[in-house]
Amino acid sequence: MITLKVKDMDIASGGPLVAIINEKDAEKMDFHHLDRIKVIYQGKIETVVIDIGKSEKAVPIGGIGLYEEVLDSLNVVDGETIEIMPARKPLSLDFIKKKLDGFKLSKNEIDQIVWDIVHNKLSAIELTYFVAACYSHKLDSRETTLLTKAMVAHGEKLKLNRYPILDKHCIGGVAGNRTTMVIVPIIAAAGLTIPKTSSRSITSPAGTGDTMEVLADVTMPIERMKKIVEKTNGCIIWGGSLNLAPADDKIIKVEKPLAIDAESQLLASVIAKKASVSATHLVIDIPCGNGAKLSNKKRALQLKKDFEDITKRMGIKTKVLITDGKQPIGNGIGPCLEARDVLWILKNDRRGPADLRKKCLMIAGVMLEMAGKCAKGKGKEIAKEILKSGKAYNKMVEIIKAQGEKIINPEDIKIGKITYDVVAKKKGVVKKISNRSISKIARVAGAPENQGAGIYLYKHIGDKIKKGEKLFTIYCYSKHKLDFAKYALEKLDGVVVK
C-alpha cells in the first residue's frame, strides 16, 4: 500500500466518489484517468475514481486531492495521511455493457447496478451508459419490475399505519398541468391519506416541486414528512430531498442534460417512488397529443398496459388515464404563475383556469371512487363539493403551514416585472398551442430558476381572437432574459391562429 497526504479540494462531484493524484505519482504507480483505487483511513475504506493532476499546484507529489463526498464518507480532513491501493472496477460495468449489447439482465445483475448507483460507485459517464443502454434496449416487464424493486430496496420507505394510501403521477410533457396541488388537498380533505412526493423540472418550466416551493418548504427529512402526513393526511414534497428510491434521483440527474426519458426507467422511476411511500392505490395520468411527450395514441396505450402490468406485479391497485395533451393546461406557465392558478382554483376565484379545474376534479373523482369513498360515477361530484365548500382550500392552508408557510394569498405571489405581450397578428381562431414551444420560451425567460418568470396564456385551442388581442404575456426579471425570450419567440411556433 502507498501512503499519501490528503488535500481537501473543496469541490463536490454531486455524486461519484473522486480523488486526484499528481501525474508523476500516477506514472510511478501506473494509474490512469478513471482507474479505481481503494482509499483507506482508520479502518474505513472507499473505492474512488481517480483523475490526474498535471501540476503540483493542483496536487503535490505525495499528496491526494479528495472531493467532498470522499472526505465526508471517510471522515478525514485536510493534512491527514491515508493509504491507497489499486481496486477493480465495479462489477456492474460488465452488466451495463451486457445491456448495451442488447442482452437481458438477471435479478442479481440489476441489484448490483442499483447498489453501485446508490453508493456512488459509478462515474457520471458510466451511469450515462446505463441510461443509454436502457434507452436503446428497453427493459422488458420482468427487468423493469426487478429494477423497480431494487430501487425501493436500496432506499428508505415511508411506513404509515393507514389504508388506503393514495398517490398519483403524470408522466409530464404538458406545460402547466399543475393538477397535484389541487388534487392532494381535495383527497386529504375527504379524510384519505395522500403522501405526495413530486419532482422538480427536468425539461419543463416548472415541476410540482418547484411550484409548491413558492408556497412552502418542499425539502425535508422523511421523519418530518411522516409527521405532516399523520397530522394533515397529505403533503406535497420534493422527492429528491428524501432517500426514497435514491437511485432514481441519480438517474434523473443524468437524463436531464440528455433530455431523454428511457421508457423502462420511467416506469421503474414512477412506481418505485410510489412503492416507497407505501401507496396502495395509484392513478397515472398519460397526456397524449401533438406536442406532448406522447403524441401517438398507440404508444400511450402501450405505456398504459406497461404501467398496469408492473404495478400489478408490485401489488398496487392502479388506474391509468389517457388525457388530452395537445396544449398547455391552465394559464400560468412557470412556478409563481402556476402557484397563483392553483390557489385561485382552491379559493373558487373566477380567475382560476377552467380547464385545469375540470381535469383536477376528474382525476380526484377517480381516486375517491378507487378508495371506496363513494359509488362509481359519483366521485367527480364529491370532489366538486369538497372544492366548492372551501374544505380543499382550508386543507391546502393546513398543509402549507405544516410544511413551513411562505405564501398563502395568491395576491402576494410576486411575478416578473419585465413583461412582453404577444398579440394576434390577425383575426381568427386559435388552432394550435405548442407545448414544446411554450415551455421553451418560458424556460428561456428564466423559469424555473427565476420563480416569477414564465408565460401567462389568455387563449386556448378553439378560442376566437381579434387582431391585436393578447395571446400570452412573457414575464422576466431582466431585459437580457426578455431579449432571449423574444429571439426564441421568432424561431418557435408558440400559438397558431387561422
Does residue 72 have a pLDDT over 70? Answer: yes
On the question of pLDDT at 340 being above 80, the answer is: yes
Query: Are residues 455 and 307 located together in one domain of the fold?
Result: no
Determine, yes or no, domain membership for 209: yes
pLDDT digits (tens, 9 = 90+) for 378-396: 999 999 999 999 999 999 9
Give the other-Cβ count within 10 Å of 395's Cβ: 22
Q: Is residue 150 part of a domain?
A: no
Please report, for the domain that includes residue 440, its CATH number. 3.90.1170.30
Q: Are residues 68 and 204 in the same domain?
A: no
Query: Do 430 and 311 lie in a common domain?
Result: no
Confirm whether 160 is domain-assigned: no
Residue that is last in its domain, among 384, 410, 436:
410
Q: Is residue 76 part of a domain?
A: yes
- Residue 259: its pLDDT value, please? 64
Across 254-277, b (16+ Cβ under 10 Å) vs e yields bbeeeebbbbbbbbbbbbbbbbbb
Residue 472 has pLDDT above 90, yes or no: yes
Q: Which domain holds residue 74?
A: 2-87
Per-residue pLDDT tens over the stretch 286-300: 999 887 888 889 999
Q: Are residues 101 and 79 in the same domain?
A: no
> Residue 57 falls within a domain, yes or no?
yes
What is residue 120's predicted lDDT score, i.e. its pLDDT? Answer: 85
- Does residue 241 surpass a pLDDT of 90? no
Which pLDDT score is estimated for 366?
A: 98
Q: In terms of domains, do 220 and 297 share one?
A: yes
- Is the per-residue pLDDT at 457 higher than 80? yes
Regarding whether 330 and 349 lie in a shared domain, the answer is yes
Which residues have a catalytic role annotated?
A: 261
Helix then strand then coil, % of the chain, to nearest 5: 45, 20, 35
Mean pLDDT of 140-162: 94
Q: What is the mean pLDDT of residues 253-281?
A: 84
Given 382, 410, 438, the domain boundary residue is: 410
- Do residues 39 and 112 both lie within one domain? no
- 402 pLDDT higher than 70: yes
Q: Are residues 337 and 361 in the same domain?
A: yes
Q: What is the mean pLDDT of residues 189-201?
A: 95
Pair 129, 179 in one domain: no
Position 261 confidence tier, pLDDT thresholds 50, 70, 90:
low
User: Which pLDDT belongs to residue 260?
Assistant: 66
Q: Kindly state the average pLDDT of the residues 176-193.
A: 98
Tell me the pTM. 0.86
Instruction: Please provide the size of the chain in residues.
Output: 498
pLDDT-derived band at 266 (thresholds 50, 70, 90) equals: confident
Q: Are 461 and 326 in contact (CB under 8 A)?
A: yes
Percent of the chain with pLDDT over 70: 99
**Are 292 and 364 part of one and the same domain?**
yes
Side-chain-side CA neighbours of 205 within 13 Å: the count stands at: 38
CA atoms within 13 A on the CB side of 200: 16
3-class SS of residue 73:
helix
In a domain, 491, yes or no: yes
Q: Worst-scoring range by mean pLDDT, 198-202, 316-320, 374-378, 475-479?
A: 198-202
pLDDT band at 421 (very low <50, low <70, confident <90, very high): very high
pLDDT at 83: 95
Q: Choose the most confident range, by mean pLDDT, from 53-57, 240-244, 358-362.
A: 358-362
Domain identity same for 305 and 358: yes
Q: What is the CATH number of the domain that holds 47?
A: 2.40.40.20
Mean pLDDT for the stretch of residues 249-262: 73
Percent of the chain with pLDDT over 90: 83
Cα–Cα nearest to 311, from 253, 259, 370: 370
Are 96 and 203 contained in the same domain? no
Domain count, the chain: 4
Confidence of residue 249 (pLDDT cuts 50, 70, 90): confident
CA distance 22 to 58: 8
